[in-house]
Structure 1
Amino acid sequence: MTPTDNTTPLQGVILLGHGSRDPLWRAPLEAVLARIQQTQPQLPCCCAYLELTAPSFAEAADQLIAQGVRQLRVTPMFLGTGKHAREDIPRLVADLRARHPDVTVEVQDSVGEDARVTALLARIATERP
């Protein structure tokens, strides 16, 4: 699909993490990305980071938008809803909306707030491998 098509807007996903100087820190987030790419290869998806790691949220969003994405889902890959989720992400999304008013942006709750994730974490904590 090209940005000029008059069909359903292309959807995309940003997996948004905190970031770290340690490159090994990114491995779990990139594993989620790889799983999405494997199971939904038609879905534009990428990782982005709030700090210390590239690409930034703005860079990742611009990259997806350049591919024709017009509906963007932001998935904060945090266990809880702290300052980043309450303050930083809404500010970044407001900046994105100002720069790209033709793009719809949906921000999900932090993944750790999802009952499916907390149930899985409880299982992992209590079951033997």
Structure 2
Amino acid sequence: MQQSQLAIILLAHGSRDPLWRRPIEAVAARIQTDQPRLLVRCAYLELCAPDLAGAVAELATLGATQITIASLFLGAGRHVREDLPRMVQDLAHNFGHLQLRLQPPIGEDARMTALMADIASQSIAS
């Protein structure tokens, strides 16, 4: 039996400014360092490449069998609530051999809320 090849896509909104992508790419690099066997890619909803479909296709070519899509959005606006689940559903249909899992937006995680509060109030406590 073939072992599953796990992968993760860090999905963010996107920007024309290449400097905007640096934090997302830094997260990808950190994950790759911590978990070298995990395939890691960044993808963007708009304004820069690769898009989600391109990242899924690349990971499929590399042998991924299970892909987690980490939604790096602080809020759940229309893109996250409506567009993204539809996109993932379409990709699951088009790549029937892959298991795709969409995580809730990172901003809805209590750990992220606590971290942002700590960082925001850090200068006040000093």
Per-residue CA deviation, residues 66-106 of structure 1 (Å, 9 max, x unaligned), is 11111110001000111111111112111111111111111
Aligned partners of 1:8, 1:119: CA distance in 2, in Å? 37
Q: Partner of 1:96 in structure 2? A: 91
Q: Does 1:115 align with 2:110?
A: yes
Q: Partner of 1:23 in structure 2? A: 18
Q: Does 1:8 align with 2:9?
A: no
Aligned partners of 1:85, 1:65: CA distance in 2, in Å? 23
Q: Which runs of 4+ in 1 moved over 2 A?
A: none
Per-residue CA deviation, residues 11-56 of structure 1 (Å, 9 max, x unaligned), is 1000001011111111111110010111111100100000010001
Q: Residue type of the partner of 1:61?
A: V
Shift of 1:8: 2.9
Shift of 1:7: 2.6
Aligned partners of 2:98, 2:40: CA distance in 1, in Å? 15
Q: Partner of 1:105 in structure 2? A: 100
Q: Give the structure with the larger helix fraction.
A: 2
SS of the equivalent of 1:89 reads: helix
Structure 1: stretches of 5+ with no match in the other structure: 1-5
Q: Partner of 1:126 in structure 2? A: 121
Q: Aligned-pair RMSD on alpha carbons?
A: 1.1
Shift of 1:108: 0.4
SS of the equivalent of 1:80 reads: coil
Q: Residue type of the partner of 1:43?
A: L
TM-score normalised per structure 1: 0.92
Aligned partners of 1:25, 1:98: CA distance in 2, in Å? 31
Q: In structure 2, which of residues 38, 45, 56 is the aligned counterpart of residue 43 of structure 1? A: 38
SS of the equivalent of 1:117 reads: helix
Q: In structure 2, which of residues 58, 61, 72 is the aligned counterpart of residue 63 of structure 1? A: 58
Size of the alignment, in residue pairs?
124
TM-score normalised per structure 2: 0.94
